[in-house]
Structure 1
Amino acid sequence: MDLSRPVLDPAADDRSEKVTSAGPEGSSTTEAEPFSVFTNGQKRWINWVASFGAMFSTLNSYIYFPAVVPIASDLNVSVALVNLTITCYLVVAGIAPAIMGDLADHEGRRPAYIIMCVLTVGANVGLALQRSYPALVVLRMIQAAGSSGAFGAAHGVVSDISPVAERGSFTGTVILFTNTAPSFGPIISGVLAETVGWRWIFWLLTILTATYSVVLVLFFPETQRKLVGNGSRRVQCLLYRSLFSTVTSHRHVMDKTIEPSRPKHHIPNPFACLPMLAYKNNFHLVVFASITYALRMTLQASLGSQCPGIYRLNSLQAGLIFLPPGVAGAVAAKLQGVLIDRNYKRMCAQLDGAEFHRGEDISDFPIEKARLKGATVMIAITVAATVGYGVALMTRAHISVMLIMQFVTSYTTSSVFSITNTLLTDLNPTRAASVRGASNLVRCLLAGGCIAALEPVTERIGLGWCFGVYAILQALVVPLIWRLEAKGLTWREERAARLAREGANQP
């Protein structure tokens, strides 16, 4: 990894200061400066640190599942009550990103990450030491509040450091980390619960989050563009400073000391992100992504609730079946990220000529068509594999058939997540973390409803028809994709014109 001195364009001072719009949110940059002063190696490091933090949002959830029974036995409560802590966790996980995203978009990335780390480390220590059910409930909610917001903050960092042409690959890295945790988390948890006890699950999380916190505080720079621009400015506040500039010889570009261009006391508003769903582009994209996420979570939940009984698996085997979909999701996230960038450049070449030179101005560019290319195919494969998965469980086919269907659906849904998250950042470059809060709220509600309906629907119509219903639900997103591809640019132009008229009417 190259963390060497960034190379700046020597001709930058001779260029004009022409401003170009970066998208519907009105972000801008100048031709006199590069989009980011960080080198490729430095951007990869920043991306990896942010993505590793986002991993805890899924790891803390999935690593808990194998410990439900031993926790219930140790605390002398029913399994149903311990399952209630999962519901409490998901409720907070649906709300917290809206607060943390608003905080990250206004106060900066570092303060948001530091707060999340403090909450997560403290909750993990408490969970390892607690000996009562009420403490378990409260601490799990605090753990959710600390870790769940990191996913949105990571996408905010991606929007800070990556231009449109590279955004797919950087988003793919975030999805890679968050998709890996659900596979390895249950395996590690099962081994620890069987050998040294379930409390060591939380001690392991404490070690991981504490180590990450130290790395974050010391070597993660502030990237919020409202505060540091393209990375060439610095905020005169210790909270925003790190050793990154010293270690990477990045100090020479940080020659502009500024005060934060933000309110001194901003109170995070969890409802500030909701109006963003009123934008037609955002609404269509969030519904599309949320339905796909709900299906993915339901398929994952069935691995823990349905498959062990059907295939008579022990605790370790029940954890191992999460591995194939996790590997598929990780591979898909990385490959799809590269493909997303390639599709964008190809469309730029088709519209602008042989040379790729769009820059950051996508105001007249059909970014929806470029990003959503291949999404319909992925949905069609997902629908077919979901039906096949239900039939495999219904007929009690060989376990390899079930795992293959899980592998395929994990690959396709992870590809869809890379597509939707990249496009969501493109459409909201200055509020990438906040829009994740709105998206997370919708997807958690849908996923919670779908998972809650899994058992009663299965009892009523059987496993095969149950997943047939979920497959039909997934197929309903295809018209959303087509409409977004056809109308996306028009909607953005209409909104830009409306905002221009409103601005002209103001005194």
Structure 2
Amino acid sequence: MTTTQQQRDQDALKEEFKISSDPDAAPVVPSGSHEKTEQNVVSTIEQPTDDNEVYSVFTPTQKKLIVLTASLAGFFSPLSGSIYYPSLNTIAEDLGITATKVNLTVTTYMIVQGLAPMLTAGFSDGAGRRPAYIACFVIYLAANLGLALQNNYAALLVLRCLQSGGSSGTIALANGVVGDIVTSAERGSYVAFASVSSILGPTLSPILGGLLSQYWNWHGIFWFLLAFGGVFFIPLFLFFPETCRNVVGDGSIPAPKLNWNITDNIRHANREKAELRVDEKKQEELRKNYRLTFPNPLSTLVVLTDLESALILIASGLTLACFYAVSTGASTAFRSVYGFDDMQVALMFIPFGVGGIVSAFTTGKAVDWNYRRHAKINGFPFVKNKQQDMTEFPLEKARLEIALPLFYLGALTVLGYGWVMDKHVSLAGPIVLLFVMGYALTAAFQILNIIMLDVYPGRPAVASAANNIVRCELGAATSAAIVPMAKAMGNGWAYTLLAFILLAYSPALLLTMKSGVKWRRAKKQKQEEKDARMMKDPS
């Protein structure tokens, strides 16, 4: 064993048994085995330079509560979209419009759902997550009030866009919060908490929408959203802490007055009593960069120009596009095939959502297990709560080895669902397929989302906003097209086409697995050269 290898093993051993003096810091998890491999000889993984420096001062319990709250805030976007599905035919009848026109309100909702996070992501990276949350909820609540009072198609179309703009910004913020406080090594453990909104939305909202539409009226949907949004917003405003690393660093720096909240006040008072002093130099540096500026969407569009990001985003978008196509087409399909009313249609979303819930509480464990396995193979210390240099670590391979089988399974279930609906088989057929589809598509999307946060560790909200653009625009396209496609081709061939597109795209993910490390290495080198030039010539 070489001297370098011995030193690295000793450092890792010290890391295993080190106890942090910071009471807010999460415990350090022992690293895995450090076997020597050929890759270890070729490349050296950089380790944190300061042994006492943690990625976030929030405790594991605090992190889970913060991520869960952020995820529930993001719940309002899928909730507001999916709660609408069971009543689409009822709305069309009441307003005297066609099914195609009412489906257009779903399409425009999703278009705005993709574009709005471009604005909130950049704004929140500079001003903090809390001001962005406040702006989003004010817009959302105002839109719901208008929707509850309106009674014509033009107002419905415009206000649904405004409702989408307010609610969808919170999705990028939720992923931004995860990136603020959770490292790559522990990210899989938080999948269940971070995925609550995307799973509960499609599961619960159609049932709520069906109940409200059946026993009240479709205007009641928006009164419910107004009341629910207001009840959630008040405690969020009072207690949700600021997490943006550009504003509060690792959480040890007090937030500016605009980002004030009760939780941070109490937490910093306790830290002061424990004689944990604020790093004034770091605080001054963060305050210099603190700014309230009009959001610039170009920073999000830049992400789309990166090859690896584009390949991952398209895969993620296609996965959710199939999910949305099934959700949007369900109302028409189950009415025509089985003669269901609004409530019965809503109940058919339960197996879809249950599959998603199962995936949330199993996918994270599989992702973390495979990460640890690759860490052991590559002699890479597995350390929680410290952001390590991941340039030479095969992140894409570790994640996609779990995601690809699920990607294929999702495509096969979409194919099967189309044909069981086309052949009018027993209701058990679509129920089983919807469960498996909900599991596979949700799990694949979760892992692809994790990869995006891995690839863009410094700007998680921007990465999430780019993800939203692609998935929502592709979802809008399939939502608008699925009913005309089913009428023209039949359910079988319509969903076969979607499944074929998924399967045909899978080689792009295989390429990402193979070349991901090389692409990230080249990107890092390019950034270092750019930084060096700027230091030589600041002008």
Q: Using structure 1 for the length normalisation, give the TM-score.
A: 0.90
Question: How many Å separate the matches in 2 of 1:295 and 1:68?
Answer: 19
State the Cα distance separating 1:86 from its structure 2 match.
2.4
State the Cα distance separating 1:188 from its structure 2 match.
1.1
State the Cα distance separating 1:75 from its structure 2 match.
4.9
Gap regions ≥5 residues in structure 2: 1-20, 29-45
Question: How many Å separate the matches in 2 of 1:279 and 1:139?
Answer: 34
State the Cα distance separating 1:213 from its structure 2 match.
1.0
Candidates 465, 468, 482, aligned match of 1:437: 465
State the Cα distance separating 1:81 from its structure 2 match.
4.1
Question: How many Å separate the matches in 2 of 1:400 and 1:364?
Answer: 48
The answer for the alignment partner of 1:7 in structure 2 is: 23
Task: Report the AA paired with residue 241 of structure 1.
Answer: W
- Cα distance, 1:335–1:192 mapped onto 2, change above 3 Å: same
State the Cα distance separating 1:138 from its structure 2 match.
2.5
Counting only pairs closer than 5 Å after superposition, residues 78-477 of structure 1 correspond to structure 2 as 80-237=100-257, 239-246=258-265, 250-252=270-272, 255-256=278-279, 258=283, 260-262=287-289, 264-352=291-379, 356-357=382-383, 359=386, 360-477=388-505
CA contact (8 A) 1:157 1:224 kept: yes
Question: How many Å separate the matches in 2 of 1:459 and 1:77?
Answer: 18
The answer for the alignment partner of 1:53 in structure 2 is: 73
SS at match of 2:299: coil
The answer for the alignment partner of 1:485 in structure 2 is: 513
- Cα distance, 1:505–1:264 mapped onto 2, change above 3 Å: closer
State the Cα distance separating 1:477 from its structure 2 match.
2.7
Moved more, 339-348 or 148-157: 339-348
Question: How many Å separate the matches in 1 of 2:270 and 2:430?
Answer: 51
Question: How many Å separate the matches in 1 of 2:54 and 2:439?
Answer: 35
Question: How many Å separate the matches in 2 of 1:189 and 1:425?
Answer: 33
State the Cα distance separating 1:70 from its structure 2 match.
4.2
Task: Report the AA paired with residue 331 of structure 2.
Answer: G
Measured against aligned partners, the alpha-carbon deviations of 1:126-176 in whole angstroms (never above 9, x if no partner) come to 222234443323321211110011111100000011121211222332223
Measured against aligned partners, the alpha-carbon deviations of 1:46-77 in whole angstroms (never above 9, x if no partner) come to 01110001111100001122333444555565
CA contact (8 A) 1:103 1:268 kept: yes
Question: How many Å separate the matches in 2 of 1:281 and 1:330?
Answer: 29
Percent identity between the two aligned chains: 32
State the Cα distance separating 1:391 from its structure 2 match.
1.8
- Cα distance, 1:262–1:29 mapped onto 2, change above 3 Å: farther
- Cα distance, 1:295–1:215 mapped onto 2, change above 3 Å: same
- Cα distance, 1:11–1:462 mapped onto 2, change above 3 Å: closer
The CA RMSD measured in Å over matched residues stands at 2.6
State the Cα distance separating 1:285 from its structure 2 match.
0.7
SS at match of 1:352: coil
The answer for the alignment partner of 2:39 in structure 1 is: none
CA contact (8 A) 1:286 1:439 kept: yes
Question: How many Å separate the matches in 2 of 1:448 and 1:400?
Answer: 29
State the Cα distance separating 1:474 from its structure 2 match.
0.7
